[in-house]
Amino acid sequence: MNKQSTSHLFMIEPESFYSNEQTSYTNHYQKEVTDETPEDVAGKALAEFHNLKNKIEEKGIKITSLKGSKDCPDHIFPNWFITFQNKTMQIFSMLAPNRRKEKKPSMIEHLTKTYELTDDMSYLEEKEIFLESTSSMVFDRVNRIVYAGISPRTNAVQLIIWCRNNDFELVLFETESHTGSPIYHTDVLMYVGTDIIGICFDVIKEEHRDYVKKKVAEFHDVVELTAKQIENFCGNAIEAKNNNNDLFLILSSTAYNALNQSQIDKLLESYKDIIHSDIPTIEKYGGGSARCMLTELF
- pLDDT at residue number 36: 82
In the sheet that holds 295-296, the strands lie side by side as 62-67, 8-13, 295-296
Q: Which residues pair with 45 in a beta bridge?
A: none
- Measured distance CA(298)–CA(89) in Å, rounded: 10
Class of residue 37 by CB neighbours under 10 A (exposed 0-12, middle 13-18, buried 19+): exposed
Exposed e or buried b per residue across 275-298, where buried means at least 16 C-beta atoms within 10 angstroms of its C-beta: bbbbbebbbbbbbbbbbbbbbbbb
- pLDDT at residue number 22: 59
- pLDDT at residue number 160: 98
Exposed e or buried b per residue across 165-196, where buried means at least 16 C-beta atoms within 10 angstroms of its C-beta: eeebeebbbbbbbeeeebbbbbbbbbbbbbeb
- Measured distance CA(31)–CA(24) in Å, rounded: 8
* Sign of the C-alpha dihedral computed for residues 212, 213, 219 and 224 taken in this order: positive
- pLDDT at residue number 21: 66
Side chain identity, residue 234: C
- pLDDT at residue number 127: 98
- pLDDT at residue number 206: 97
Report the first-to-last Cα separation within the chain, whole angstroms.
Answer: 13
- pLDDT at residue number 207: 98
Q: Are 258 and 232 spatial neighbours (Cβ–Cβ below 8 Å)? A: yes
- pLDDT at residue number 59: 98
User: Which of these, 183, 179, 272, 163, lies nearest to 236 by C-alpha position?
Assistant: 183
Per-domain boundaries in the chain: 8-296
Residues 6+ apart with CB under 8 A from 177: 28, 183, 203
pLDDT along the chain (298 residues), means of 10: 96 86 57 75 95 98 97 95 98 95 98 98 98 98 98 97 98 94 96 98 98 98 98 98 97 98 98 98 94 98
- pLDDT at residue number 25: 47
- pLDDT at residue number 28: 58
- pLDDT at residue number 98: 87
- pLDDT at residue number 26: 63
Topology classification of domain 8-296: L-arginine/glycine Amidinotransferase; Chain A (3.75.10)
